[in-house]
Amino acid sequence: MTNGRTDDRKAQRHSRRGEGRIVVLLDGSPMSYAALRAAANIAAQTGAEVLGVFVEEMNLLRSAGFSFSREVGSASGISRTLDTARVERRLQRLADHARQALAKAMEGRGGHHALSITRGRVIEEVLALAGPEDLLVLGRVGWSSAPGARLGSTARGLVQRSPGRVLLWCEQNVPARDRIVVFLNDHPEANERALTAAAEASRRYRQAVTALLCPGSSVSQEQLSDFSRDLEVMGGGIRLRVLPACDPATIAQTVRQEHASHLVISRGCVLFQKPGADQLLVVLDLPVTVTP
């Protein structure tokens, strides 16, 4: 086990070696700790290493250097000077809490874990650590998100730019959800990656899979049969469903009809090429895996 800042050489080597790690962003928000619990559960089942990442936001520290900068308490509404020393102490407390939370989440689960503490811009720092083979686990919103936000700006940016899979995590309060839903498109390689992720989720949660297709999709019946056979082999049954239309609202409605517990969708699918398509991630209150 290694913990500490990224200027520690041992922590640097640990955070960059190997493949197939679980990288989880910790920002002190309740949602990020929910994401950590999910990451720890996946690691316990897969044996993957877990790398926690805490970023001291450079823009916040720079802002604290200006005499006119103010902060407003989210609960109290009280305005006060944004003091550099106070911000530094707060970041140190959050980093210490992240270290303790990571150790507690991994306690008794075995496997390696480490905490990387960096200073800079969150998205760039996370992308510097997460590789194509890693699973990046994020809470859907963090402390910096606007009140009532369903998807934070950091999560949006990492979904768009991450080289590997991204799991957007949220806690579910509805127990009657029992299917993994995967959205397929006309790109065989992207479909294969999405189906692999869906099959892994199917095994992990012991749930069947529904595959959604756009109307007029060029996916052949032979390919559909292959998908069905592959998923049966990889651990679960599959139901194929052709959508009446290929837009975020229709997909969201269908996902709800399927009582989905989890959505898998490829970053390269046609849906993400449409303006405002990421609204699908906003309206769905369930974990979403976005594959390359």
Tens of pLDDT along 188-201?
Answer: 788 888 888 998 88
Q: What is the pLDDT of residue 76?
A: 45
Residues 159 and 187 in one domain: no
Per-residue pLDDT tens over the stretch 204-241: 888 889 989 888 776 656 666 776 676 665 556 788 88
4 lies in some domain? no
The structure tokens listed for 34 are 């929910």
Of the chain, the percentage scoring pLDDT greater than 90 comes to: 34
Per-residue pLDDT tens over the stretch 44-64: 999 999 999 999 876 655 555
Read off the pLDDT of each residue in 79-108 and give the average, rounded to a whole number: 82
CA distances for 57 relative to 22, 77, 152, 179, 276, angstroms:
22, 22, 15, 38, 27
Residues 184 and 203 in one domain: yes
Per-residue pLDDT tens over the stretch 149-169: 467 788 888 988 999 999 999
Q: Where are the beta strands (DSSP E) in 18-164?
A: 22-25, 50-57, 70-72, 79-81, 113-120, 135-139
Give the mean pLDDT of the chain: 78
Model confidence at 282: pLDDT above 50: yes
49 lies in some domain? yes
Residues 211 and 285 in one domain: yes
Residues 48 and 70 in one domain: yes
Q: What is the pLDDT of residue 52?
A: 97
Residues 66 and 156 in one domain: yes
52 lies in some domain? yes
Task: Tell me which of 60 and 18 has the higher pLDDT.
Answer: 60
pTM exceeds 0.75 for this model: yes
Model confidence at 18: pLDDT above 70: no
**71: confidence class by pLDDT, cuts 50, 70, 90:** very low
Q: What is the pLDDT of residue 70?
A: 45
Residues 136 and 276 in one domain: no
Any idea what the CATH number is for the domain that residue 236 is in? Answer: 3.40.50.620
2 lies in some domain? no
Q: What is the pLDDT of residue 141?
A: 66
Determine the Cα–Cα distance for residues 124 and 129; give it in Å rounded to an integer.
Answer: 9
Q: Of 144, 169, 194, at which residue does a domain stop?
A: 169
Residues 231 and 284 in one domain: yes
Distance in angstroms between the alpha carbons of the first and the last residue of the chain: 30
Residues 109 and 39 in one domain: yes
The structure tokens listed for 192 are 């294969």
Domain span at 250? 179-291
Give me the number of domains the chain comprises. Answer: 2
Q: Judge contact between 264 and 194, C-beta under 8 A.
A: yes
Q: What's the DSSP call for residue 75?
A: T
Residues 208 and 259 in one domain: yes
Q: What is the pLDDT of residue 4?
A: 42
Q: What is the pLDDT of residue 123?
A: 94
Residues 54 and 153 in one domain: yes
